[in-house]
Amino acid sequence: MDATPIRRVCRIVAWVLALATVCIAMWNPRRLQAAEPACPAAPPDVWVVSTRGLPGACRLPEAVNFSVERLDSDSCAWQRSDLGSLLADPLQPVMIFIHGNRYTRGEARQQGLELARRTSACSGCGVRTIVYSWPSERQGILLKDGRAKYDRAFCEGHYLAWLLGQFDCGRPVGIVGYSYGAIITLQAFEDLVAAERSGTGNVHPWTDRQGAVNVVFIAAAIRCDALAPRGPYREAVDCLDRLTLLTNSSDDALRFFPLLDSSLRADALGYVGMRRSWVPPSLEYSSLDAASVVGRTHGFQHYLASPALMRRICGGATAGLEPPAE
């Protein structure tokens, strides 16, 4: 009996099982417990800006009705607030955490709080952490859900652009974008550059602002040529002072990134990285392959758990964010 058909079927079954395992790793990562942890004696300054419940946006909006919360230092509970309070003290440095797919509201707050706690130990400039919480809860089967959130991430970039455009030009900003957070970040910068060029939109300019702008991408689920000379987000580099990449060449999830978009013929930035020559010499740039630390996993909590990687994240996000001298 010819065993070739049997071997072919076995290979197909093995491939399907491997793909299912990878999808679970990428779009349903194991995280820290969702319960809110007890506050330390001096909780960090943490806020949440949420677009959950807002419809998709196809362009930079004129205004956005965000849901805003802050962590109360006395009761250690999340309390409703408003954008005006968040934007007060226009020169205080801020660090924005943008999560990936399949996060509930509570999980986004918890990991943002954990990031704030770990970075507060290494940043001596009184950074305010803002958790950018977007609708990425689990919906439907893995691949279909991943593609839906991939599309939603581009919409979220328009909302983030409006938020960034409300910051005073002297306010230092650090952004930590995990997985799909890289799409949201670069789409936002593209909107800001376009708005500045056209003179439209209710936003402050970003290509020649006084306050520093640092960006850290962790396991970035965006095409690897995004910032190439002819890449779709090339102009975003004009908004940055420092760019830090944490990639993972063993990431089983990012290995199948091209499946999210049939038109893509590029690997994920967080999987293969990018060339240093693609960014101008004036941009402080560093990249580290974290495969030897986190292995084949994709979850953000594995990066948080590593002291060495946290030093990279903290330094990349907060270095030089002291307010400019008057």
Question: Does residue 324 form part of some domain?
Answer: no
pLDDT at 143: 86
3-state secondary structure of 17: helix
Work out how many domains the chain is built from and give that number.
Answer: 1
Contact 314, 119 (CB under 8 A): yes
pLDDT above 90 covers what percent of the chain?
A: 75
Residue 71, strand partner residues: 78
Sequence-distant (6+) residues with CB within 8 A of 196 are: 203, 205, 206, 207
In a domain, 74, yes or no: yes
Picking from 271, 321, 276, 323, the residue whose alpha carbon sits closest to that of residue 122 is: 321
- Would you say residue 43 lies in a domain? yes
Chain segment 9-32, per-residue pLDDT in tens = 445 444 444 444 444 444 444 444
The single-letter code of the amino acid at 7 is R
Burial tier of 223 (Cβ tally within 10 Å: 0-12, 13-18, 19+): buried
Backbone angles phi, psi at 97, to 5 degrees: -100, 125
Residue pLDDT, tens place only, 26-81? 444 444 444 455 565 567 899 999 999 999 999 999 999 999 999 998 888 999 99
Is 215 within a domain? yes
Could you please report the per-residue DSSP string of 128-186? EEEEEE-S----SSHHHHHHHHHHHHHHHHHHHHHHHTTS-TT--EEEEEETTHHHHHH
Provide the CA 218 distance to its chain's centre, in angstroms.
7
In the block, tokens 């076995």 appear at 10
Residue 263 lies in a domain: yes
**Tokens at 270, concatenated:** 């967080």
Q: What is the pLDDT of residue 322?
A: 75
Residue 199 CB partners (closer than 8 Å, separation 6+)? none
Domain that holds residue 304: 4-318
Check the CA dihedral 45-93-60-202 and report its sign.
positive
Q: Per residue, what are the HEC states of 41-85?
A: CCCCCEEEEECCCCCCCCCCCCCCCCEEEEECCCCCCEEECCHHH
158-181 pLDDT, tens per residue? Answer: 999 999 999 999 999 999 999 999
> pTM of whole model > 0.85?
yes
pLDDT in the model for residue 26: 46
Q: In the numeric block, which tokens belong to residue 186?
A: 């670069």
Two tokens at 37? 């942890």
98/315 Cα distance (integer angstroms): 17
Task: Sort residue 16 into left (φ over 0), alpha (ψ -120 to 50) or beta.
Answer: alpha
H-type alpha helices, 165-282: 181-198, 269-272
> Does 10 reside within a domain?
yes
In a domain, 326, yes or no: no
**Helix (H) or strand (E) segment spanning residue 245:** strand 242-247
Residue 325 lies in a domain: no
Coil, helix or strand at residue 95: strand
Token pair 């890449």 in the structure block, residue: 231
Q: Across all residues in the chain, what is the average pLDDT?
A: 88
CATH at 97: 3.40.50
Task: Render pLDDT for 200-245 as a digit per residue (tens, 0 to 9).
Answer: 778 999 998 999 999 999 999 999 999 999 999 999 999 999 999 9
Whose tokens are 């946290």? That residue is 310
